[in-house]
Amino acid sequence: MNHIVIIGFMGSGKTRVGKRLAKDFDLPFIDIDRVVTRKMNLSVKDIFDKFGEPFYRALETTVIKELIKDQEQKVISLGSGLPMQEQNEKYIKQLGTVVYLKGSYETLKERLENSKSNPLIDGDDKADKIKKLLKQRDPVYAKFADIEMITGDKPFEELISQLEEKLQTVIKNS
Ligand SMILES: Nc1ncnc2c1ncn2[C@@H]1O[C@H](COP(=O)(O)OP(=O)(O)OP(=O)(O)O)[C@@H](O)[C@H]1O
Ligand SMILES: O=C(O)C1=C[C@@H](O)[C@@H](O)[C@H](O)C1
Ligand SMILES: [Mg+2]
Residues 156-169: tens digit of each pLDDT: 999 999 999 999 98
Atom 5 (ligand 2): residue with closest C-alpha? 80
Most informative mutation of 6, 7, 10 for ligand 2 (most atoms within 8 A of CB): 10
Whole-number pLDDT of residue 173: 63
Tell me what pLDDT residue 19 has. 98
Taking the whole predicted model, whether its pTM rises above 0.90 is answered as yes
Q: What pLDDT digit, counting tens, does each position of 7-40 carry?
A: 999 999 999 999 999 999 999 999 999 999 999 9
Residue whose CA lies nearest to ligand 2 atom number 3: 81
Residue 95's pLDDT is 95
Helices and strands (H, E) in the chain, number of each type? 8, 5
Beta strand segments in the chain, E:
3-8, 29-31, 75-77, 96-103, 147-151
Say which DSSP state 79 is in. P
Residue 14, annotated ligand binder?
Answer: yes
Backbone torsions φ then ψ of 157, nearest 5 degrees: -60, -35
Say yes or no: ipTM exceeds 0.95: yes
Rounded to a whole number of angstroms, the CA Rg of the chain reads 15
Cβ density class 26-51: b for 16+ within 10 Å, e for less? ebebbbbbebbbeebeeebeebbeee
